[in-house]
Each structure stands twice: as structure tokens, then as C-alpha cells.
Amino acid sequence: MHLSFIPYTLNFRFPAGTSRGILLEKTSWIIVLRLNRGDAIAGLGECGPIPGLSPDDRDLGVDLSQLALDISELTLEQMEVQLRNGTLINPTAPSVIFGLETALLDLKSGGQMLIYNNAFSRSEVSIPINGLVWMGTIDFMEQQIQKKIEEGFRCIKIKVGAIELETEFSLLKKLREKFNAEEVTLRLDANGAFSAKDALEILKRFSAYDIHSIEQPIRAGQWQEMAELCENSPIDIALDEELIGIYPLSKKKELINTIQPRYIILKPGLMGGLKSSAEWIQLAENAGSEWWITSALESNIGLNAIAQFTANYEITLPQGLGTGQLYHNNIASPLIIQNGMLYYDASSNWDNQALKKPITD
């Protein structure tokens, strides 16, 4: 096997605010996988760690150079086995696992960005998604909400916890005066912004605005506190960052059984890839929890893989797959968003030829 890679800096269209700070750009590493050096057919995968959040938030050049050496003498079948049984890549490099998984699936499909041959990738069905509203000034957030609604979104996800709480309550109040819960579903994402001591009272105040759910109201790692919050909160809680860094299947099961969340949110690039995400889905369904899948600021290469993976399941909730619109310099793709739905236009082409010319060999 021959692996090369390309660092690709994505530039945000606007300062993307979260409770952990503001992002102006982020770097993804595009894996280019071939059976042999010089082959015309190549599979692409994306490693897109998020600064300050991903377990492998670092320059991945060293990791990927080592991976290239490790697989250089392996056949495709040998690499598949080692990747599947977890002996090829350390689980603490989840974005690398995700990138190699998807590059391998793309390569096996003939390098056509066909990660899974399903109804979505054949342009037969679309995926409902939420519209994401980033933190910022109240005017900026109001503008985003209005734009999302005009674009046909009926499920809006709003980042909270970075600006003054009374301002956030005022924003939600204005929104609910215009649209009731049947017209617009509201999700909140706190990114762990609230203390365990204050969270319940804050959630009680948020509940006045008919909130569907809130992601990660307190920081990850406080299992007992989160379990109590899930039991007592007037708003259903979705685990997000809580799932990051939990690798053994037994530990995943322990977390679900201890906290008993209403929802879990899966980000394959942060949680160890597609196989790991499938494990979380099975555990959640066994425990009676629901789930949705979210991209994690990937380019359209990673987003495409996540969307096609998502489409393997029966979708019951809007997914978090709208991040393809975030960047000035995203890679042109057949992914299209219309009326709050993500489509794959199989008649369109990918603009990925430049990425198939590796800068490292």
C-alpha cells in the first residue's frame, strides 16, 4: 500500500464562535491512498482534528509519515484486518483512523468518492439536517437565525454559553414570539459551558422556550453529575464531548449505562471513526437512547463520508451535516443543501484533482 498526505487549511467565512473561543481557520490532513505508488486510482480520506478538542490536536505530519511506513509492505487485505482489529493506529488518534477508513472505502470503490453505495449516494433520498447558528453578537446571531429559516430549515441549533445568559434568553424569547415549537425546533449546544452547580437552574430557564435538547451542558468527565442532570433536567440532554476519548467497548457501555442520556451525538472524526461510531449507535439503541450524527468542521471530503455513513441508517431526527457551507475554500462537491435537507447530486463532479497530487511521497 502507498499512502501520502496533504495539509489543507480551511478558511472560515466568518469568525466561528464557541464557548471555547473563536476559530478563523483550521487545518485538515487529506490522506491519499493507493495500492501502489503511481497508480491512477486513489482513495481520499480526511483527518480533521479540532483545535483544543480533538485527542489528536497536533501537526499530524509525523503520525501520517509513520502510518505510511507501517502500511508500505502490507496488502490491502492485511491493512483492512489491522485497521479493523485496532492494531494499526493508536485509538488516541481518532481523526487518523477516520481518515484511513474512508480513504480505504473510497479506494475500493475506484476512487469515485463513493464511500457507501446507498440511496443517498445514488441521489435517491436526502438527509434532514439542522441549521447551525454560531455564537457572536446578538445582531449576528439574529441574522443567522433569520437566514436559516429563510433557507427552509425547521430545526435550528444555537450555540450558547459564551455571551451573557440574559442576552441568550432574550434571543430565544424573540425567536419563540415569531415561531412556535411546531414551526421551528430549537436545539442548544453549550459545549460544556455551565458549572455542575448552576446547570440545572440554567436549564430550567432555557426550558421556558420549548427547547428540544441541549448538548453537553457541563464539561465532560463528570459522569455522576451528568447522570443527575439527565434525570432532573426539564430539557432532554445530548452527550457530545462526553464521548470523546472513550475507546474500549466496555467503557462505552459503562458510560451509557451510568449517565442514561436521552440522546448521544456522534462525530466520527473525534470518536475513532466509522466502526467506533457504529458501536456507539448499537449501544445507544440497546439502552433506549436516540442519536444523531454531526460533522466536526471537516471539508466536503470528510462531510461526504459522514453523510454516506449516516444514510446507512433509518434517519428519525435531523442530523448535524451542514458544515460544508462554512469555508471560503471548501472543495467543490456534489453535496447540496436545500430546504433544510442535504442532497448528493450524483450527476455533479468533485473538484479534487489537485488533491490527488500528493506533496509527500
CA-nearest of 97, 91, 111 to 35 is 111
Q: How many CB atoms lie within 10 A of CB 62?
A: 9
What phi and psi values does residue 134 have, to the nearest 5 degrees? Answer: -85, 155
Contacts of 120 (CB under 8 A, 6+ apart): 126, 127, 307, 308, 310, 311, 344
276 contacts 245 by C-beta, under 8 angstroms: no
Strand partners, 135: 17
Contacts of 79 (CB under 8 A, 6+ apart): 1, 71, 88, 104
Whether 108 sits among the annotated catalytic residues: the reply is no
Whether 204 sits among the annotated catalytic residues: the reply is no
C-alpha cell at 19: 464557548
| SS3 assignment, position 7 | strand
DSSP label of 348? S
Amino acid, single-letter form, for residue 280: W
Distance CA 230, CA 203 (A): 11
Distance CA 156, CA 340 (A): 10
Amino acid, single-letter form, for residue 276: S
Distance CA 71, CA 2 (A): 7
Indicate the length of the chain as a whole number: 361
Which one is catalytic: 26, 148, 252, 267?
Answer: 267
60 contacts 34 by C-beta, under 8 angstroms: no
Which one is catalytic: 26, 148, 157, 159?
Answer: 159
CA distances from 77 to 64, 74, 81, 98, 269 (A): 20, 8, 6, 18, 23
Residues recognised as catalytic: 159, 267
